[in-house]
């Protein structure tokens, strides 16, 4: 769902840790050679060549075995780092992005849209009937309703979109390279998907805003526009889509 950045920092931790560990593994045969050269007094290029000629299999073995151990250890550490990073950006109830993930992606995508002149749309979604569900059936039922909304967002979103829970009953869907009419159609699809969950009194209101290529790259402008449209949707009776 997230567009990768460029450069080494964009690699998953499990891969970058493995590559770093593999590079460090090269120090093992070099260290062995250094110890041997100091012992023989042949600490020069000719001495290094002589060492390789006399005992190349040993250096190959040290290199391969150390590489295997270091790379495996780096992969395990990196995979754990990836898991922790994912958890720090995930809402535990719904499995969607959390406010931190949303704000980070919002900054990236607004800057990207302004740079390349592409449209960027934001859908803000508010659960209409959550209080009534909580009051009548308890908070467990309310949690199930929030998870139903999350399923609808997940089904409606594309690979390049980011769906996030940004408040107690408020969700967001950030849609890069999506013009206004397509974003409105996407919002209506999500509204119908929520209705299809068939949970009593569960409906959603959605506000849609789009930053075109001549709009500000400040993410607050897009957020404010979508928030205003969401307020209008709720003012007009809820369970509807309003586009800024």
Going from N- to C-terminal start, the domains of the chain cover 8-88, 99-243
Q: Are 239 and 191 in contact (CB under 8 A)?
A: yes
Provide the pLDDT for residue 39: 65
Q: 135: which residues sit within 8 A by CB, 6+ positions away?
A: none
Estimate the crossing angle of helix 99-116 against helix 219-235, to 10 degrees. 110
Residue 4 pLDDT level (bands cut at 50, 70, 90):
very low
More confident of the two residues 148 and 73 = 148
Identify the helix (H) or strand (E) that includes residue 206.
strand 204-211
pTM: 0.67
Domain topology for 99-243: Alpha-Beta Plaits (3.30.70)
E-strand stretches of 60-179: 120-127, 162-165, 170-176
Q: Encoding tokens for residue 168?
A: 């107690």
Residue 214 pLDDT level (bands cut at 50, 70, 90):
low
């Amino acid at each position: 769902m997230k567009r990768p950045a460029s450069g080494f920092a964009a690699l998953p931790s499990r891969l970058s840790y493995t590559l770093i560990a593999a590079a460090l593994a090269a120090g093992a045969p070099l260290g062995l050679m250094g110890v041997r050269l100091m012992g023989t007094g042949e600490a020069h290029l000719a001495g290094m060549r002589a060492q390789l000629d006399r005992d190349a299999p040993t250096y190959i073995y040290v290199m391969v075995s150390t590489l295997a151990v270091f790379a495996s250890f780096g992969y395990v550490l990196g995979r754990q780092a990836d898991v922790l990073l994912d958890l720090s950006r995930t809402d535990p109830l719904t499995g969607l992005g959390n406010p931190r993930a949303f704000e980070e992606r919002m900054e990236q995508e607004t800057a990207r849209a302004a740079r390349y002149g592409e449209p960027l749309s934001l859908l803000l979604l508010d659960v209409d009937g959550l209080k009534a569900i909580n009051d009548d059936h308890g908070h467990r039922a309310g949690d199930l309703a929030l998870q139903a909304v999350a399923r609808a967002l997940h089904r409606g979103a594309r690979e390049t979109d980011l769906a996030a829970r940004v408040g107690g009953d408020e969700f967001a869907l950030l849609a890069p390279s999506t013009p206004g009419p397509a974003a409105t159609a996407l919002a209506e699809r999500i509204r119908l998907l929520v209705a299809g969950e068939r949970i009593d009194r569960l409906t959603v209101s959605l506000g849609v805003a789009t930053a075109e290529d001549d709009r500000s790259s400040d993410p607050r402008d897009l957020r404010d526009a979508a928030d205003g449209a969401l307020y209008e949707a709720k003012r007009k009776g809820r369970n509807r889509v309003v586009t800024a």
